Structure 1
């Protein structure tokens, strides 16, 4: 029995009993009406309580980390935005495409699509819930490939740099400069024009001059220059982009929530000490009204001067609404890209206030609480050990192996770059959307 099969079987037994008991009771018309009442609207598109309950139950079966109901609400909002954007761009997925997506998803647990649907239904998740889950993913994949695919190219030099990076016994550090330009709905177009112009810069001096002029980060005074940074500290989506740069290259403008970012690679080096990998990152976010107004920035500086740990922020937030301060622990891949990038520059107890929310009306003060390293129990998998495993029974077929590695690295770099564009695009859709939660 596979891991997924075992997981779903155990959950389905208890859920089936609950459903059977529920069906023996007389229906409550008022409760049914409440169940199908919209509790969220996304650009006037409704999300019902029933959909949230169904998605939460699906996420529980899939053992998704975090609060299932909260995650369900977030995912369904994103799904509405993805479907709306796809339709606006003329993309409508067919039943055959959705079915193919269901089959691919099920195959991860060594099941057919029909088998997985039956197990889900046995645990109280309707087939339509699963289909909707797959449909949004398929639509979004088609849209992002069509919209950003032409911008993504991978050269032989990109692949070679990535091969060298993963094949080293030590770590890889990068020396970068940054420019992060805040946006609002009113300034979005002009900022995009400025960012495109900056992306064509080829000298470090010119990039630094633009950082001093436009960047909202605390590095602006030193021309956006950052210290040597382990590549593992960067958000996963940004690593592939950076590894694909040569010294002096500037990234394409990367859309974030409420900002556009550009990075210039100044240098890259190998170290003798392997880079750590992190299982979880704990951070706190304190929200300040006023966006990037001088009053809000002054308050952020004052908090920075008077706090040393995340626990200190509870004193700052005392007497204010609970929503003013949020603190939690997440896996690196679960952290929004803009937040993950800011956290990558911080040591525990340090803060950043480069980001905004609510269309620039709220300043976000981030503090890194700590990072939990992954404990490696097995020998690390490298390009060399992968090659040894793949060559078993095929000794001497070095050319085929080399091609396979090249294709895999090229696809990985391309996917990472495409994912970075997609995350930024989704963040912009969220920022522009009319989302009403009851």
Structure 2
């Protein structure tokens, strides 16, 4: 709670600028003979952008900019504020044109839900916003537009996103061994040993609010410990069946651009952003067993530990090679075996999902970060006959279609609109 207060209450140049502007407006109202101050007030409430017949004022832009700053949204807050407010006008206008206007109760429920994401009540959240010179009205407008758009998209496209049994059948491999859904993800794996766990969790909560692929990529380059860091966290296409079972419905519940809530791992926190999802015609197998080797190196993710891992990696090509590395050492330094997917620790399962046989990873640690795990995938044993989770497939297909319709409709509204920026 104290950390959140510091986030909202910390003074910044933008806040001081707004406060100065606010004082100028107050003075203009009291001292009507002061032309410069009166002009400043008029400028602040003047139209900055015209979207069809709806205006966006300089005041709204300034307040949305501060709001994004308080939320620590990634990117250029001024630019993002302009983009969001333009889209808000388009969304609200489209919703009102078909009679969709969220009720006061619905908006307040949305405000409650939003505040709850940072473990605050609506009143506490509004108090924190007010301290940062952001009004309750600005918060309410932000929530109202998102809620109206969600209701509009559901009403407009619900009949088109229905998934039939034939749709699911076409998404199942002809052999019946797996789903034909694959996902394109970006990842951030952040080490979180006990002394850093609280700070890492707070950072992960902030990153989980990101909806921009470029912003997530920047965070991955800065904070991720995974090998994908060099690729801005981007992974290649992965069959959904190759990922740990508990993770699948979480990912299928995302729209492209959305990020999972922080996923706790052993001594780490993971975040995944869905970049795309698609149906493919060739079925992917589900797996009865995964074989892997984990070799434990003292020192954790220190330079010495990572250097030792690189030295070993240069000497191994397959899992059997670890026996030579571990020869003469305590047997506990090597964990080699074949396990059912549900028996594999979640952090190891996530790493293995990204690997081909013979590939290695040094992302994970044990013993509160003091031991580095050199992990290698040995192989996967597919299930020959397995009942497909048709409900899971249906959810994934619906979310994919709804996101596509929503994005396309917004682009159409923007293309048809008269947008004049002053």
SS at structure 2 position matched to 1:313: helix
Match of 1:298 among 279, 299, 307: 307
Q: Which residue of 1 aligns with 2:273?
A: 264
For residue 375 of structure 1, report the CA deviation from its aligned partner: 1.1
Residue 302 of structure 1: how far off its partner (Å): 1.7
| Paired residues for 1:356-367 under 5 Å | 356-367=365-376
Aligned counterpart for 2:332 among listed residues 299, 319, 323: 323
- The one of 335, 353, 357 equivalent to 1:348 is 357
Distance 1:299 1:375, change over 3 A: same
TM-score by length of 2: 0.52
Q: 1:168 aligns with which of 153, 167, 171?
A: 171
By how many angstroms is 1:409 displaced?
A: 6.7
1:137-171: CA deviations, max 9, x gaps? xxxxxxxxxxx9x9xxxx989x9689966861341
Please name the residue that 2:285 is paired with: 276
SS in structure 2 opposite 1:319?
Answer: coil
Aligned residues: 235
Retained in 2: the 8 A contact 1:176–1:228?
Answer: yes
How big is each residue's C-alpha offset from its partner over 1:69-103, in whole Å with a ceiling of 9 and x where there is no partner? xxxxxxxxxxxxxxxxxxxxxxxxxxxxxxxxxxx
CA 339–161 in structure 1, closer or farther in 2 if over 3 Å, else same: farther
Indicate the SS of the match to 2:282. coil
1:339–1:248 CA distance, 2 compared to 1 (3 A) = same
Structure 2: distance between partners of 1:161 and 1:194: 37
Q: 1:166 to 1:327 in 2, by over 3 A?
A: farther
Matches within 5 A, 1:23-422: 168-170=171-173, 171-376=180-385, 383=390
Q: 3-state DSSP class of the match of 2:362?
A: strand
SS at match of 2:364: strand
Cα separation, 2, equivalents of 1:375 and 1:357: 34
- Runs of 4 or more off by more than 2 Å in structure 1? 159-167, 380-383
Deviation at 1:221, TM superposition (A): 1.2
Task: Give secondary structure in 1 for the equivalent of 2:314.
Answer: helix
**Residue equivalent to 2:135:** none
Residues 85-141 of structure 1, C-alpha deviation per residue, up to 9 Å, x if partnerless? xxxxxxxxxxxxxxxxxxxxxxxxxxxxxxxxxxxxxxxxxxxxxxxxxxxxxxxxx
State the Cα RMSD in Å.
3.0
SS at match of 2:276: strand
Q: Following TM superposition, by how much is the alpha carbon of 1:174 offset from its aligned partner in structure 2, in angstroms? A: 0.6
Structure 1 residue runs without a partner (length 5+): 1-147, 384-404, 414-438
3-state DSSP class of the match of 1:226?
A: coil
Given that 2:296 and 2:372 are in contact with CA atoms closer than 8 Å, whether structure 1 keeps it comes out as yes
The answer to whether the 8 A contact 2:170-2:281 is kept is: no
CA contact (8 A) 1:167 1:382 kept: no
- Alpha-carbon deviation of 1:184? 1.1
Check the 8 A contact 2:171/2:280 in 1, yes or no.
no
Give, in whole Å, the separation in 2 of the partners of 1:318 and 1:162.
Answer: 56
Q: Which runs of 5+ in 2 are unaligned?
A: 1-116, 120-150, 174-179, 400-422
Distance 1:381 1:224, change over 3 A: closer
Distance 1:207 1:225, change over 3 A: same
C-alpha distance in 1 between matches for 2:209 and 2:356: 32
Offset of residue 303 of structure 1: 1.5
CA separation of 1:315 and 1:180: change in aligned 2, threshold 3 A: same
Q: Would the alpha carbon gap of residues 178 and 165 (structure 1) be closer, same or farther in structure 2, given more than 3 Å must change?
A: farther
